[in-house]
């Protein structure tokens, strides 16, 4: 299982999002984001939610769990499932 800080670094790099930009998108202070990236401490659940939302990834993936990181896929599947009617 990858750590929170590793996943956060990875997705920020993939999305080409700076600490300042992530701070702007989430309302989380840049110093806190720096602390997360350096492993000084991990974000609390409400902050993980904001980070995941801003980065468009699954919160559990961001926390290090071995699941799909793509939030939009899960949203699409849920949307399609909700539209299905029983036979």
Q: pLDDT (tens digit, 9 = 90+) per residue, 21-60?
A: 999 999 999 999 999 999 999 899 999 999 999 999 999 9
The model's pLDDT over 12-32, given as tens digits with 9 standing for 90+, comes to 999 999 999 999 999 999 999
CATH number of this structure's domain 4-83: 1.10.260.40
d(CA 56, CA 14) in angstroms, rounded, equals: 12
Residue ranges covered by each domain of the chain: 4-83
d(CA 4, CA 60) in angstroms, rounded, equals: 10
Contacts of 1 (CB under 8 A, 6+ apart): 64, 65, 66
């Amino acid at each position: 299982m990858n750590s929170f800080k590793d996943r956060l670094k990875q997705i920020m790099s993939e999305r080409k999002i700076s600490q300042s930009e992530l701070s702007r998108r989430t309302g989380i202070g840049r110093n806190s984001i720096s602390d997360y990236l350096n492993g000084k401490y991990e974000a609390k659940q409400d902050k993980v939610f904001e980070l995941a939302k801003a980065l468009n990834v699954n919160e559990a993936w961001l926390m290090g769990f071995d699941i799909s990181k793509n939030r939009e896929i899960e949203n699409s599947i849920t949307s399609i499932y909700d539209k299905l009617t029983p036979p």
